[in-house]
Each structure stands twice: as structure tokens, then as C-alpha cells.
């Protein structure tokens, strides 16, 4: 019957996807909509809005991927947006994506959707993981107890896509317009709900917009949004009387009692529908968590894992990096050979010194980028990253934040921009602002080429992993200290409690790892072919003009170029850090993109020291500077103002130039003070001085 109805029906249906974080909602959204999707923001807020569409049997389905949330209490922007969309937009069907292997926790959101009496389809995702643990439920009985259709799927399997579409169509045209089940809150609360439903609709609420029972429950729970929308003084007085009576009878707040009753309902549903389970024995996840999230061993294990990541990044990346370096060296010599009789050719200089010396100098470090992002993808896809946030909770909480803030900071290892955007998941504006201000202190992928250039130039092979690990740990430590300083100065106030679900460990698929690694690596390559290429050409022009002799220009000639003049102007300011005008010139360009520091330094030394032939840039740096200066370069580029795109995103996410300016100037001043201190103390101790 449903097939005939949907074939003849030509209108567009709206589908809303909801679910807990880590339940696989985004995977199902991508599987349904494919390439037919776009991302924006909800009006007035910075929470991401994902929409897509697909067509089946001649009918178009508009899919909204609502923010992941554990409940509909509207205490955070994500919860408020999800709830308001369901209530106000009234989608044709709400698809609740639940983690089948962790069903009891996921069903708490389901109970609240049931209370809204929305057309509901419960999709039990990760059925393969659940069954591998011996977890299985009687789905028809589960459907009857919850009053909605229930379907089990493996979200990333394409063969489950049509099964899901058929279930959506069936849910749209089901004879039951909404779940007929309700959670029983006990005699005392049910009595007060009954009294309040009689008053609702007389004044202040539209009973056609939302069902009366749901409103009554929300009023008793003291839901801030519902309370504020009530203009009926009689109803307000009745709510106060009801909550006082419940508290006096049961000895606890209505919110706690209601939550307990929901969990009791869920426990009963699970008990009635369970066919088999391995919950009596310890799962692999639980065994691993005993070690990896141990209060004593958790942080040392995290640090060791990060050290291994950095060591492998250098060890595995050194071979392909050498091949790429040799290719660009050969290309440079080949192109130079075309102008053997005219060494002053501007075209030769542009190709060799500008493009190959600039862009090529950045692409050389692509293998390091690839291996770093591969390692991070493995940690994310196995489920370890949420554990890293969990083990950092105790330390973060002492600083006035909580472990949830560490997730954006971890994302910052890839790029500061998505890290700042990830602060949207935090519950308060105070925590969001603190986290987005300190996020750039986490070494992003754009800084890795700088480290990959400096470390092999000044430190022995056995120290490569240690130095890279150290610079990343310095960033984490500075972020933690900065958070504490911000907390006691600009952002005073109580911190929110930390609640985070630890998803089960999973074996990542090769496809997922490849996609995650390639997406981030492609952004790096794309930047090299656009932003860095453009800046490299500008930098070449600044280092070339107004010098008359290009091919054999000396350092003195180069210092008279436009770039040299800029560098000479700022040299007195940067000299206390151990930097000369060449390093200063490269630092200016690095504000556009951190990788540009490497390309600009390559151009400066290609133009100024062309008599050295094809010698690698790090060899030239090794002759010019010492390890102390090399370390100071890494320290300054780690801390100093992030790229201009990060500043722009901070302004957008904070909705104020004030915080973007604080981030820019605050980090730059901090970088200058610390780098000057390290260099001057290092000189006194003769560290790294030849």
C-alpha cells in the first residue's frame, strides 16, 4: 500500500535526523544524500546547519541533519535548535539514530521525542558492533513498547540505504500519526501533570502547536524556554504549587525524579526486549578503558602515544620527502639550464626562485603532513580521542574548564579553523571564548613544515621525534596556563559539569582512514597551489626588485630589495629573539598562512644565495644559524598570532572584533616575550652557541 501512495505523491517530504553524538548520524546523512548536501549556519547562531536531499520513486526528500544531542532540555544551543526545529517546523518524520551497542543511554533522547508525539522512526545503527558483542533485541516488541517503527542498520553499508528509505516512506504513511506510548512519572507527578494540562491553552500557549502533556512536563521540569514563554499568571502559580508539592512528597526536585522515571522506563524496555547479551562479561572497551583512562596512567599514556605519532611522522616521512626534494632540485637545475647564457632572466628567476623555491619548498613536507593526519585519523576513528579529553578533565577542571574543551584543542592539531568552530559544542559562551582564544596554541598542520625544516637542520636524527613532541607539548602547556589566566581575569564565574560519552573502540576502516587523511592533505596541497603560490610570487617580486642583477645578486644587493628594506626596518625589534632581517621578512608573510614562512625563507635564500647551487634550504640555514635560533623560530611560530583566516573565524564565532584582536595581539606579545627570554637565557648559558 505504501508503495502505491508514495508513487502517486509528488510533494517534497522533510526528514529530520536526530541522535546522540557518536551514534553515526552524519554517516547515515551522507549515505542518504550523497553529494546533494550543503552546510550553513542556523540564523542568529554559529551552530552548523547541514541539509541535503535525495529522490526515491519520483518523490524528493529534504533531509535536515540536526545537531547531535543527548536530550531536548534546551540547555545548550544544539539542544535548543533541535527541539525548536521539531516543534516549529514539524518535519514529516523524525529519524532518531541510536547506537545499538549502547542502546540504554541513547534511548533517553528517544523518550523525549516520544513525549513530543512526533512521527518517529528509531534507527538502531552499528548493528554489526552490537551483534559482535552478543547484543540483540526483539525489534517488533521494542517497536510496540516505544510506539514507533524500529529498524536496525549498519550506517556505512550502501545495501542498508534502500531499507532505510523504505522505512522512512512507511513511517510517513503509517496509520499511527505519532507514538501512542507515554512514560509514567508516578502517581504524584502524574497528578500534577493532569492539573496543569487542564490550564494549558486557556492563555499564553497554543495547544495546537505543542501537545499539552509535553508542555506540562516541561513546566514541572522548570524548562527555561517554556517557563519564559508562559504569560499566564494563573498557570505560573499552579506550576509553582505543583513543583513544591512534588518536592515535599518525594523529597527531591521534579527534574531529578522525571529523569529517574525516564531511565526506569528505558531499563524496563531493555529488559523486556533483550534476546541475548554479553554484558555479563567485561567488554574489550571496558578493559582498555581501565588502563587508558586510568587517573594515574592516562596522561602519561597519552603523551607516549603523541610521541610515537611524531616519531613516526619524521621516520616514515623522511624517505618520500627526500624523493620530492630531489625532484624539485632536478627541476630547478633543468629549468636553469634553459637560460644558461642568460642568468639574469626574470622568467628563470620567477620559475626557479619564486615558484619552485617557494611552492616546492612547502610541497616537500607533504609526506610529513600525510603521516601526521593518518596518525590523528587512527586515534579519532578508533575512539581514543574522546578518551584523551576524558583523562584531561581533572586537569582542565582545575583551570575552570572541563574535558569537553580539550576536543577542539585536539582538533587544532589539524587546523585552528575547525578547532575554533568546534567550540560550538560547549555549553556556555564563557567556555567557548576561552577555548577559541587558546586553540591556536595547539600546533596546526600548517606549522609542521616549519618544524620539519628546522629540526633536521639543527638537531641529530635521534632527537627529531623528541623535539617535535616537545614543541607540541609546549603548545598544550601554554594553552592550559593561558586558559587559567583568562579564567581568573576576563572570564570569572562557575564552570559547568563535564559529561561526555565514551564511544566504544572500533577498528577503523581503510576507506575511512584514507578519506580523513586525504581531505586534510588535499587542503594543504590546495593551499600550496593557491594562497602560497600567490604569496610566493609576491615575495619573489619583493626580493627581486629593484635589484638590477638577478642571477648573481649578493646578500648586500638583496638587502636593498623591497623585502630587504622591510626586513631591515623590523630587524632591531626582532634581534633580541636572535632573528635577522631574513627571518623577519619570512615571519611577516607567515601571517597569511604559516606554511608561507618556509616558502618565503626558501625564496630569500634562493635569490640571495644562488651561488650555492641546489643546496637544500636546511643546509643553508645550518650554516647561517645555530640550534638555539632554530628552536626560537619554532617557539615564536608556535605561539605568535595565527593566520589571518583563523583571526577572521574567531571574529565570526565570537561575533566581536574585540576577542579577535585579543587573540592576535595577546598571542604575539606572549610569543615575543617568551622567545626573547629563551634566546637571552640561552645565550647566557651558551646553549647551542658554536
Residues 658-672 pLDDT 10s: 999 999 999 999 999
**Domain 2-172, second-level architecture:** 3-Layer(aba) Sandwich (3.40)
> How high is the pLDDT of residue 1?
36
Grid coordinates of 327 = 625532484
As a whole number of angstroms, the distance between CA 131 and CA 108 comes to 21
Percent helix, strand and coil across the chain, each to the nearest 5: 65, 5, 30
Q: For the domain with range 187-276, which CATH number is right: 1.50.10.100, 1.20.81.30, 3.30.429.10, 1.10.287.1770?
A: 1.10.287.1770
The pLDDT value given to residue 362: 67
Mean of pLDDT over the chain? 79
Which run of H or of E encompasses 314?
helix 298-338
User: Which set of grid coordinates corresponds to residue 196?
Assistant: 496543569
| Residue ranges in the chain whose pLDDT is less than 50 | 1-8, 177, 278-282, 341, 497-501, 548-556, 607-615, 688-690
Contacts of 208 (CB under 8 A, 6+ apart): none
Please report the sign of the dihedral spanned by the C-alpha atoms of residue 82, residue 84, residue 85, residue 91.
Answer: positive
Identify which of 627, 638, 621 has the alpha carbon closest to the alpha carbon of residue 674: 638
The Cα–Cα gap between 452 and 450 comes to 5
Cα(97)–Cα(70) distance, rounded to whole angstroms? 11
**38 phi, psi to nearest 5 deg:** -145, 160
615 phi/psi in degrees, rounded to 5:
-55, 140
Look at residue 640 and give its three-state secondary structure: coil
Strands (E), 553-592: none
Query: Do the beta carbons of residue 678 and residue 668 sit within 8 Å?
Result: no
Beta-sheet strands, E only, within 270-349: 274-276
What is the location of CATH 1.10.287.1770 in the chain? 187-276
* CATH 3.40.50.300, the chain: domain bounds: 2-172
Task: Look at residues 491, 482, 509, 409 and name the one whose alpha carbon lies nearest to residue 673.
Answer: 482
In this prediction, residue 64 carries a pLDDT of 92
- Please tell me what DSSP assigns to residue 343: T
Burial of 507 (0-12, 13-18, 19+ CB in 10 A): exposed
Edge-to-edge strand ranges of the sheet holding 149-152: 37-41, 48-56, 59-65, 13-19, 93-99, 120-125, 149-152
| pLDDT for res 204 | 53
Amino acid at each position: 500500500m505504501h508503495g502505491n501512495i508514495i508513487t502517486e505523491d509528488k510533494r517534497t517530504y522533510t526528514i529530520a535526523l536526530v541522535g546522540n553524538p557518536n551514534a553515526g548520524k552524519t554517516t547515515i546523512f551522507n549515505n542518504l544524500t550523497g553529494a546533494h548536501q550543503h552546510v550553513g549556519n542556523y540564523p542568529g547562531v554559529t551552530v552548523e546547519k547541514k541539509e541535503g536531499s535525495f529522490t526515491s520513486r519520483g518523490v524528493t526528500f529534504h533531509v535536515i541533519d540536526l545537531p547531535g544531542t543527548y536530550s531536548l532540555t534546551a540547555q545548550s544551543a544544539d539542544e535548543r535548535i533541535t527541539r525548536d526545529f521539531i516543534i516549529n517546523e514539524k518535519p514529516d518524520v523524525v529519524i532518531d539514530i541510536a547506537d545499538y551497542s549502547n542502546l540504554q543511554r541513547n534511548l533517553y533522547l528517544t523518550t523525549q521525542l516520544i513525549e513530543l508525539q512526533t512521527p518517529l522512526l528509531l534507527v538502531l545503527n552499528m548493528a554489526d558492533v552490537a551483534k559482535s558483542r552478543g547484543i540483540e533485541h526483539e525489534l517488533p516488541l521494542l517497536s510496540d513498547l516505544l510506539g514507533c517503527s524500529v529498524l536496525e542498520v549498519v550506517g556505512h553499508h550502501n545495501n542498508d540505504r534502500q531499507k532505510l528509505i523504505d522505512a522512512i516512506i512507511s513511517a510517513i504513511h503509517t496509520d499511527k500519526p505519532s507514538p501512542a506510548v507515554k512514560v509514567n512519572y508516578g502517581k504524584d507527578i502524574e497528578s500534577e501533570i493532569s492539573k496543569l494540562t487542564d490550564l494549558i491553552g486557556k492563555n499564553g500557549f497554543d495547544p495546537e502547536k505543542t501537545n499539552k502533556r509535553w508542555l506540562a512536563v516541561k513546566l514541572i521540569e522548570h524548562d527555561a524556554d517554556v517557563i519564559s514563554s508562559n504569560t499566564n499568571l494563573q498557570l505560573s502559580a499552579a506550576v509553582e504549587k505543583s513543583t513544591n508539592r512534588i518536592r515535599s512528597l518525594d523529597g527531591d526536585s521534579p527534574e531529578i525524579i522525571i529523569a529517574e522515571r525516564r531511565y526506569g522506563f528505558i531499563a524496563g524496555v531493555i529488559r523486556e526486549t533483550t534476546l541475548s547479551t554479553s554484558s555479563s562479561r567485561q567488554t574489550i572497551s571496558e578493559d582498555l578503558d581501565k588502563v587508558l583512562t586510568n587517573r594515574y596512567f592516562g596522561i602519561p599514556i597519552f603523551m607516549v602515544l603523541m610521541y610515537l605519532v611524531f616519531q613516526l611522522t619524521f621516520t616514515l616521512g623522511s624517505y618520500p620527502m627526500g624523493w620530492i626534494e630531489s625532484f624539485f632540485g632536478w627541476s630547478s637545475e633543468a629549468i636553469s639550464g634553459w637560460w644558461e647564457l642568460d642568468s639574469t632572466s626574470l622568467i628563470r628567476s620567477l620559475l626557479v626562485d619564486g615558484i619552485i623555491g617557494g611552492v616546492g619548498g612547502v610541497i616537500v613536507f607533504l609526506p610529513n603532513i600525510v603521516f601526521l593526519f593518518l596518525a590523528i585519523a587512527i586515534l579519532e576513528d578508533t575512539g581514543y580521542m574522546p578518551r584523551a579529553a576524558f583523562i584531561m578533565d581533572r586537569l582542565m577542571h582545575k583551570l575552570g574548564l572541563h574535558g569537553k574543551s580539550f576536543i577542539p584543542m585536539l582538533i587544532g592539531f589539524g587546523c585552528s579553523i575547525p578547532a575554533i568552530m568546534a567550540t560550538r559544542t560547549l555549553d556556555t559562551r564563557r567556555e567557548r571564548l576561552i577555548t577559541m582564544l587558546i586553540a591556536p596554541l595547539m600546533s596546526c598542520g600548517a606549522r609542521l613544515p616549519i618544524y620539519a625544516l628546522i629540526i633536521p637542520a639543527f638537531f641529530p636524527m635521534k632527537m627529531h621525534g623528541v623535539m617535535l613532541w616537545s614543541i607540541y607539548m609546549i603548545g598544550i602547556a601554554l594553552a592550559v596556563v593561558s586558559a587559567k589566566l583568562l579564567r581568573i581575569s576576563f572570564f570569572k564565574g562557575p564552570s559547568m559539569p563535564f559529561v561526555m560519552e565514551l564511544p566504544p573502540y572500533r577498528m577503523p576502516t581503510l576507506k575511512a582512514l584514507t578519506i580523513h587523511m586525504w581531505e586534510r592533505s588535499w587542503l594543504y596541497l590546495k593551499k600550496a597551489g593557491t594562497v602560497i603560490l600567490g604569496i610566493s610570487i609576491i615575495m619573489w617580486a619583493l626580493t627581486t626588485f629593484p635589484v638590477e642583477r638577478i642571477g648573481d645578486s649578493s646578500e648586500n644587493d638583496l638587502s636593498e630589495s623591497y623585502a630587504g628594506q622591510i626586513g631591515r626596518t623590523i630587524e632591531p625589534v626582532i634581534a633580541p629573539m636572535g632573528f635577522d632581517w631574513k627571518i623577519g621578512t619570512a615571519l611577516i608573510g607567515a601571517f597569511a598562512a604559516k606554511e608561507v614562512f618556509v616558502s618565503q625563507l626558501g625564496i630569500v635564500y634562493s635569490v640571495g644565495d644562488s651561488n650555492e647551487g641546489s643546496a637544500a634550504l636546511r643546509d643553508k640555514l645550518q650554516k647561517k644559524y645555530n640550534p638555539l635560533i632554530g628552536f626560537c623560530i619554532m617557539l615564536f611560530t608556535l605561539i605568535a598570532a595565527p593566520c589571518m583566516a583563523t583571526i577572521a573565524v574567531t571574529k565570526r564565532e565570537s561575533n566581536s572584533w574585540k576577542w579577535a584582536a585579543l587573540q592576535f595581539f595577546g598571542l604575539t606579545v606572549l610569543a615575543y616575550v617568551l622567545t626573547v627570554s629563551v634566546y637571552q637565557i640561552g645565550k647566557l648559558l651558551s646553549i647551542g652557541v658554536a
